[in-house]
Amino acid sequence: MDLFIQEIEDSGYKNLIEKTASHIDEICVYGQYLLNLMNTNNNNNKSDIVILLLFRDLLETVDGIQSLFKSSSINISDMLFINMFELSLSLDYIFLDKELLEARALSYDVTSIHEKITLYEKLNTDNAEHENFRKIIGEDMFNHLTPEQLNSLAENLRSIVDETRKKDAINLRGRQRHLRDLEPKWYLILYSQWSKKLNGLASMEGFKSVDNEAILENPKIPKNPQDVIIKIGLLQSLMNSCYINICKYFLTDKDSENLAIWYREIKEKEADISKKWSKVKFC
């Protein structure tokens, strides 16, 4: 049986894949180093914790991208690049205005709490939406907490929201619009393209014509070398921007100096890797 998902056996290409994945891993490892520095007992206020958790989620996403690159599954990483892009913009948005930093960070916490409250309300048999919700999720997934227990959980979360709102004046929908305004170029050019994979709209692009014969595309072969170069450059740029903000807000001037030295070195490695990818030709 012919399998259309096949690794490229060329040793030079495999070495380039390994070098690219190692480069992404090095960027992620530096982020973990910074997270360990910022994760101290001094960061006990809620807005700092929100930033730390968003940063943790961002590093998890980059680690996932590294894993996909290492296995030559570069095309499917489009979906994780969308997630990385959203998370990095969220952090940029929080750090953009020092006077609004706390309120902007807390808006993410408020959003999460509201979603939990909505879930508890729909699970509650005393709620008007309960029956329709139960039909959707099915009996096997139904939560068996009593109405009293669900009310208690929801009320506890509402009290947290009420306390948080004293400091939070951010319009959540406005926040999402603002994120797109931060980097309109990437939203217009790359985000819509990557979203095709997420929404299932890229399926019709999964073949090529060779001698008037339709051939299924091998997912282990990148769309084109330039796509890989763009992804490496964007990942490195977004992560460095995040690291700069982390150092400024949580860490010391010395940490910022060390970051600048590290970035010069990593930039040279990126240039070398991108040059090698520019010479790759796929049949």
Check residue 178 and give its pLDDT.
Answer: 57
The whole-number pLDDT of residue 198 equals: 73
Q: What DSSP state is assigned to residue 210?
A: E
- Angstrom distances, CA of residue 140 to CA of 134, 137, 233: 10, 8, 46
Please tell me the predicted confidence (pLDDT) of residue 9: 85
268 alpha carbon, distance to own chain's centre: 25
Tens of pLDDT, residues 196-216: 777 777 777 777 777 777 778
pLDDT for the residue 281: 85
Which residue positions in the chain have pLDDT lower than 70? 1-2, 41-44, 112, 114, 117, 120-191, 283
Give the pLDDT score at 99. 87
Q: Is 43 helix (H, G, I), strand (E, B) or coil?
A: coil
Collapsed DSSP state (helix, strand, coil) of residue 216: strand
Q: pTM value?
A: 0.80
What local confidence, expressed as pLDDT, does residue 141 receive? 52
Are the beta carbons of 167 and 102 closer than 8 angstroms? yes
Model pLDDT for residues 146-188, shown as the tens digit of each residue: 666 656 656 665 665 555 554 444 454 455 555 556 555 666 6
Q: What local confidence, expressed as pLDDT, does residue 196 receive?
A: 76
pLDDT value for 135: 60
